[in-house]
Structure 1
Amino acid sequence: MAAQAAAAAQAAAVQAAQAEAAESWYLALLGFAEHFRTSSPPKIRLCVHCLQAVFPFKPPQRIEARTHLQLGSVLYHHTKNSEQARSHLEKAWLISQQIPQFEDVKFEAASLLSELYCQENSVDAAKPLLRKAIQISQQTPYWHCRLLFQLAQLHTLEKDLVSACDLLGVGAEYARVVGSEYTRALFLLSKGMLLLMERKLQEVHPLLTLCGQIVENWQGNPIQKESLRVFFLVLQVTHYLDAGQVKSVKPCLKQLQQCIQTISTLHDDEILPSNPADLFHWLPKEHMCVLVYLVTVMHSMQAGYLEKAQKYTDKALMQLEKLKMLDCSPILSSFQVILLEHIIMCRLVTGHKATALQEISQVCQLCQQSPRLFSNHAAQLHTLLGLYCVSVNCMDNAEAQFTTALRLTNQQELWAFIVTNLASVYIREGNRHQEVVAVQLVGEDQSRPQLPGQPPVLMSPPPCSSHCLRAAAFYVRGLFSFFQGRYNEAKRFLRETLKMSNAEDLNRLTACSLVLLGHIFYVLGNHRESNNMVVPAMQLASKIPDMSVQLWSSALLRDLNKACGNAMDAHEAAQMHQNFSQQLLQDHIEACSLPEHNLITWTDGPPPVQFQAQNGPNTSLASLL
């Protein structure tokens, strides 16, 4: 008996010694691998060699699975060898499922492997993998929530917003059951964001109300609480801006700006939450700061505060450049593209077409680096090119760009914005489509017009709900009536535009409506009323500043003062008109001489890789002068 006990003790001692030896060689190799990975610059080849050296020792399953995960992760993040990365991650996932209580390795392998599948466009392989991981992770709150977020994101990228919303709803209920109000709010706010994208406003309002209550009642990490508040306020602000309610959004926007200032003064709390389901961050502070700049730019752009929009764009782009040196997160490129889209529109309004064209080229370059980014912004890119074409009076190219953009978008507000601009092109050119488009721009029955000779793809979803775009549609109807010589009808539409634009401080639309009304009164011989319209139009246009409206207003003031015998005022207005004309002409020539001007002919496929310098087409400033 004693001999058996001694033998058993000896065997246990040998086993323990072997385990200790195994642990020591494993830790040594792991230490070397980490040293090479974190070297400056990283020595990834040596790191991989150290990890591969683990397998000849015939390690236990736990070490084998973890090493496959580490190798897969290093190869995925630091090399282009996706085939080997996939092989190691698949082995880690397979082996770890056979080991009890090995959740971190098991679910991290599933998460990384599904990311890799998506990167390889094997979405059909990623979905069942994530579903299985979600099914077996219900006792592990952190991983269960993370995997739900990941699968919801995958459905979102596929434009399957219904499935994504369902998963986020499941996540919110799970978070409530495990006592994580913080993560419940994250799930609900994410769902609210998707509902806003789908324009399901009846579902959005009660959801945002509930989110607001959860955010205010939750007592936890101050940075996490403020980040939830930023998320909530960003959704509210974008909701107002999508609805074109520039004035109504101001209180929310002010709260958002105060909130981001509060976050910037808080220090990160290194104490981990007691509930593992709370181990999430929405965005880093630095990303949130750029996002707040972005929505501020969107507001300034809609309101017609273009100098303010340019100021905040410059700040945001400067911060983005710093962040992109250290962080290759795709969201930063998305922020950069959206900021550039807005500043390009500012440049076109303020008479800086050459700069706008170079920035359009910059957006093309960013989209060349990411097929997903191009897919999400192709319609906007062609819309910007259409606006540029209008600014240099290349109306055939403008029509081609706008119709291309229409073909590529299913976003309701963007569609309405494109059609509004396309209608103005048709009206100015006397195109046979003009009446079809202009008539259908306004009213509760607003829909995508079926243009003669155009494919059915141009038919419309539900009517546009944006206050700003509906006001712009009335302006286009007024413009159409003016060109048709139906002046009383034009005045009626333009007064409706003024009423709507004044209600929400849409300054640029107000200036455009005033100058057109002034032109109508001038044509009718009512010089005093014309002057009452044109003077405030010029003042407002100078404040924006809108070069085209200033050019138009100065020409009208010159003619008005001549007609009234005010020689000195007429001379001053003529001098202003000459100055604006020269500025626009110089910028026009510069823009058309750039090699990037060739972009106006691009209407199909990915953005051109390079531009060959050539003389621009024979364009004219007749419509401006």
Structure 2
Amino acid sequence: MPSAGPSMSAADGLLALAEEAERRRDFSTATSCLESALSPPHAASLLPLAEARARMRLAGLLLARNKGLANAKAHLERALLVLNPLPSAPPRLKLLAHSLLANVYGLLGAVPSQKHALRRGLTLLASASASGLLPSGPALLWTSNFQAQLASALVADGDAASALSTLSAGAAAAADLESPQLDLFFAATALHVHLLCWEDNAAVEDAVARVSRLWDALTAEQKEHWVGLFFYTELLQTFYLLRICDYKAASKHVERMDIAVKNEMERGRRIKELGTELSAVEGTLAQTMLKERERVALAHKQGQLRAQLQALCGYDTLNDVLDYGDKLLLAPPPMHGEWLPRTAVFVLVDLMVVMVSRPKGIFKECGKRIHSGLQLIHEELSKLGIVDGVTEGDLEHSTMWTAGLYLMLLLQFLENNVAVELTRSEFVEAQEALAQMKNWFTRFPTILQGCESTIEMLRGQYAHSVGCFDEAAFHFLEALKLTENKSMQSMCQVYAAVSYICKGDAESSSEALELIGPAYRTMDSFVGVREKTCIIFVYGLLLMRQHNPQEARVRLASGLRIAHQQLDNIQLVSQYLTILGTLALQLHDTGQAREILKSSLTLAKTLYDIPTQIWILSVFTELYRELEEKENEMENSEYVSKKEIELQRRLAEARSRACHQELVEKVRIEAEPLHDLFQKHNDMSGLPVNDDLDIPESVGLSTPQPSSVKRLVDSSSVRRSTRRRVS
């Protein structure tokens, strides 16, 4: 057919141009060339195998740029239709098409289709392996890839048990490969699933121990190169330690990560510089009018830059360096992918620093990390087009996962900001941060639906701090209704009980007892001791109200020991000491009262906690009165008056602001999730639900929902932004 020649030549030329553009990292041009080659009249002249390769290359480019998920899906489905009947098609190409298509289905929230594609891929893999078309090594790698993706899909479906079984199959393949990297990857992913569902304490402990053991067995060179696995395993272990309230051990992991982040930022800067320089050199080399001497010098420079990049990134080939750059990858090909974007990992480490520093009262460092974290998050949101006035209805589907990730991190930084400022009696600053949370929630109610309970709880804490105890109790009880997380429900009961006690009347004390009684009976059932120490604290307050100081003293002393030894929370310790000092005075043990109150006051001053300082100083006044130390009593009373004036000034300023009434009023936030997005967000991979105060759910560690567990954010959801080469 003579007329086919020119079209075929044009199609081949477009494919060659696309390949050249990819080498230059000019992905926009590469995409345009591939789209043109696959459009009439050129598409008709392409051989089936060439068409399939082109469609897969184009889909990979679209996925890498987070654009055109629907188009990527269509190209991959068409590629598979072309490849399936071709006996000459390389098995790797068919396997890659199944893997990429499953990834796209996951991003679109089509979990049944995702699982179907993965199981078809496993069937194809078994056939290719049995027939000898695929050697043992690559077959085991593809087995690992498909099992990891399938485990992620199963977690999205709420089937954690099957996910763990699937991961075991992947781990067996990794063991046959004798790959320490894959061994650790599967162990860490299994720990991730255990943290998601947490049904068996012993199983979680075993998973943590296995991850730690495998990491320790790596060589120094492996640890240096596998930076993505380092952050993944360190963060998972940190989440575990925070959950069991071992803050001292968690702090050690956070310190290691903080040092690593600084090193990684420097390495990333250098990679970017070398990449820019390499692009410039290759652009010059592409010019046709270069003199031979210049070409030789530039080629030598090109080789040097490529070698430096390869060594700096730790990848096996230069193509890996160019494809994956400074991504924090978890596993070797074909499983290349990051758990979270590099910036999100760094932001998450900042958040961990805040979470381990805040209970210790290290507020200066907290403030610095909150500021830097928020700045990075806002930069990433701006890149996604999320600026003032944008709501979730304006988002493209391809950006929802990343948007949800950064929005969740944003709210967790603001949550910690509110907590720090309330502790420091900076009510206006707390008010502003809480108002921001409310604003973000009203703009993105579907993505942030799981945050409503946290926002209600913080509204309660703000209301309590400014003396609106009735409103505070209302918001705590609303937060209780909005969550199914037992830990958070318990904390809401504790906070509401304290607000009722502070109201001071007999009926309110009775309501507090109704709330705290059931919690007291179940306090030993929680993982960790945070709930237990807070419940004991409130129970001690109620015993004091019931004029049972001896029993209150015994209970509170036990709670203080736990708070001091395990929680490392100096605000809680300060409040425990204040009550114990008050009890000692009631029991006329003035010597012990003085010593306890001195310690408590020191801690309250460290925290800039003015209400607690006033409380302690008022007890000191009573102590001096009982001891007939008139001079100390007068001096102390004057100091209390000054502190009260300062507190009232701050309260008046907060109450005078427009958003004060909006925050404390006994009304839930009015925000309607968008109906057409609601199901998508429920089903989509990686969109977090924040129901746990200890664990940042933006990284996929969400609390199990009534009928499902949110999707495991690891190996397959990670591939949302990873382009795979087609060969």
> Shorter chain as normaliser: what TM range?
0.7 to 0.9
How far residue 493 of structure 1 moved from its aligned partner, in angstroms, is 1.9
How far residue 340 of structure 1 moved from its aligned partner, in angstroms, is 2.3
- 1:314-463 to 2 correspondences below 5 Å: 314-324=371-381, 329=402, 330-367=404-441, 373-429=447-503, 430-431=507-508, 432-442=510-520, 445-446=522-523, 463=525
- 1:512-523 to 2 correspondences below 5 Å: 512-523=575-586
- One of 653, 667, 673 as aligned partner of 1:601: 667
- One of 350, 354, 358 as aligned partner of 1:301: 358
C-alpha offsets along residues 503-559 of structure 1, whole Å, 9 cap, x if unaligned?
133211110111222333455565554433333222101112323312322333445
How far residue 283 of structure 1 moved from its aligned partner, in angstroms, is 4.9
Residues 554 and 576 in structure 1, CA contact (< 8 A), matched pair in contact too: no
1:503 is the counterpart of 2:565: yes
1:153 is the counterpart of 2:198: no
Residues 8 and 45 in structure 2, CA contact (< 8 A), matched pair in contact too: no
1:58 is the counterpart of 2:45: yes
Q: Could you tell which deviates more after superposition, 79-88 or 141-150?
A: 79-88
How far residue 182 of structure 1 moved from its aligned partner, in angstroms, is 0.2
CA distance in 2, matches of 1:367, 1:143: 41
How far residue 476 of structure 1 moved from its aligned partner, in angstroms, is 1.0
The aligned counterpart of 2:277 is none
How far residue 346 of structure 1 moved from its aligned partner, in angstroms, is 1.5
- Paired AA for residue 402 in structure 1: F
Residues 30 and 51 in structure 1, CA contact (< 8 A), matched pair in contact too: no
Say which SS state the counterpart of residue 527 (structure 2) adopts. Answer: coil
The aligned counterpart of 2:704 is none
How far residue 470 of structure 1 moved from its aligned partner, in angstroms, is 1.3
Q: Could you tell which deviates more after superposition, 187-196 or 394-403?
A: 394-403
CA RMSD across the alignment: 4.0
Say which SS state the counterpart of residue 465 (structure 1) adopts. Answer: coil
1:288 is the counterpart of 2:288: no
Residues 29 and 50 in structure 1, CA contact (< 8 A), matched pair in contact too: no
Per the alignment, do residues 311 and 547 of structure 1 end up closer, same or farther by CA in structure 2, a change over 3 Å counting? farther
How far residue 112 of structure 1 moved from its aligned partner, in angstroms, is 4.5
Residues 511 and 537 in structure 1, CA contact (< 8 A), matched pair in contact too: yes
- One of 86, 95, 120 as aligned partner of 2:82: 95
The aligned counterpart of 1:233 is 234
The aligned counterpart of 1:201 is 201
C-alpha offsets along residues 85-109 of structure 1, whole Å, 9 cap, x if unaligned?
5433322232233334445654454
Per the alignment, do residues 376 and 152 of structure 1 end up closer, same or farther by CA in structure 2, a change over 3 Å counting? farther
Residues 48 and 74 in structure 1, CA contact (< 8 A), matched pair in contact too: no
Say which SS state the counterpart of residue 532 (structure 1) adopts. Answer: helix
1:584 is the counterpart of 2:629: no
The aligned counterpart of 2:306 is none
- Paired AA for residue 316 in structure 2: I
How far residue 496 of structure 1 moved from its aligned partner, in angstroms, is 1.4
Higher RCO by CA contacts (8 Å cutoff, separation 6 or greater): 2
- Paired AA for residue 206 in structure 1: D
How far residue 203 of structure 1 moved from its aligned partner, in angstroms, is 1.1
Say which SS state the counterpart of residue 98 (structure 1) adopts. Answer: coil
TM-score, scaled to structure 2: 0.69
The aligned counterpart of 1:7 is none
The aligned counterpart of 2:602 is 539
- One of 95, 107, 132 as aligned partner of 2:120: 132
The aligned counterpart of 1:246 is 247
1:190 is the counterpart of 2:264: no
C-alpha offsets along residues 116-137 of structure 1, whole Å, 9 cap, x if unaligned?
4445543322221222224334
Per the alignment, do residues 226 and 29 of structure 1 end up closer, same or farther by CA in structure 2, a change over 3 Å counting? closer
How far residue 366 of structure 1 moved from its aligned partner, in angstroms, is 4.5
- The unaligned stretches of length 5 or more in structure 2 are 127-137, 268-311, 321-330, 385-398, 675-727
Residues 511 and 540 in structure 1, CA contact (< 8 A), matched pair in contact too: yes
Per the alignment, do residues 364 and 561 of structure 1 end up closer, same or farther by CA in structure 2, a change over 3 Å counting? same
CA distance in 2, matches of 1:280, 1:35: 20
CA distance in 2, matches of 1:558, 1:607: 53
Residues 7 and 42 in structure 2, CA contact (< 8 A), matched pair in contact too: no
TM-score, scaled to structure 1: 0.79
Q: Could you tell which deviates more after superposition, 213-222 or 197-206?
A: 213-222
CA distance in 2, matches of 1:154, 1:598: 41
- 1:75-90 to 2 correspondences below 5 Å: 85-90=72-77
The aligned counterpart of 1:451 is none
Residues 152 and 164 in structure 1, CA contact (< 8 A), matched pair in contact too: yes
C-alpha offsets along residues 433-459 of structure 1, whole Å, 9 cap, x if unaligned?
32232233335x438xxxxxxxxxxxx
C-alpha offsets along residues 562-581 of structure 1, whole Å, 9 cap, x if unaligned?
66312233323322232233
Per the alignment, do residues 121 and 283 of structure 1 end up closer, same or farther by CA in structure 2, a change over 3 Å counting? closer
How far residue 61 of structure 1 moved from its aligned partner, in angstroms, is 1.0
1:487 is the counterpart of 2:561: no
The aligned counterpart of 1:268 is 313
CA distance in 2, matches of 1:205, 1:524: 44
Report the identity percentage.
19
C-alpha offsets along residues 460-512 of structure 1, whole Å, 9 cap, x if unaligned?
xxx11222321121111111112223222222222112211221332111101
Per the alignment, do residues 404 and 522 of structure 1 end up closer, same or farther by CA in structure 2, a change over 3 Å counting? same
Residues 22 and 59 in structure 1, CA contact (< 8 A), matched pair in contact too: no
Per the alignment, do residues 339 and 520 of structure 1 end up closer, same or farther by CA in structure 2, a change over 3 Å counting? same
Say which SS state the counterpart of residue 339 (structure 1) adopts. Answer: helix
- The unaligned stretches of length 5 or more in structure 1 are 1-10, 448-462, 609-625
CA distance in 2, matches of 1:135, 1:358: 56
Per the alignment, do residues 238 and 391 of structure 1 end up closer, same or farther by CA in structure 2, a change over 3 Å counting? same
Q: Could you tell which deviates more after superposition, 23-32 or 235-244?
A: 23-32
Residues 523 and 532 in structure 2, CA contact (< 8 A), matched pair in contact too: no
C-alpha offsets along residues 361-406 of structure 1, whole Å, 9 cap, x if unaligned?
4334555666674244333233223322322344444344333433
The aligned counterpart of 1:474 is 536
Say which SS state the counterpart of residue 601 (structure 1) adopts. Answer: coil
How far residue 241 of structure 1 moved from its aligned partner, in angstroms, is 1.6
Residues 494 and 535 in structure 2, CA contact (< 8 A), matched pair in contact too: yes
Per the alignment, do residues 494 and 122 of structure 1 end up closer, same or farther by CA in structure 2, a change over 3 Å counting? same
- Paired AA for residue 92 in structure 1: A
Per the alignment, do residues 371 and 46 of structure 1 end up closer, same or farther by CA in structure 2, a change over 3 Å counting? farther
Per the alignment, do residues 373 and 53 of structure 1 end up closer, same or farther by CA in structure 2, a change over 3 Å counting? same
Per the alignment, do residues 82 and 292 of structure 1 end up closer, same or farther by CA in structure 2, a change over 3 Å counting? closer
Per the alignment, do residues 417 and 598 of structure 1 end up closer, same or farther by CA in structure 2, a change over 3 Å counting? closer
CA distance in 2, matches of 1:136, 1:393: 66
CA distance in 2, matches of 1:376, 1:560: 47
Say which SS state the counterpart of residue 520 (structure 2) adopts. Answer: coil
How far residue 38 of structure 1 moved from its aligned partner, in angstroms, is 4.5
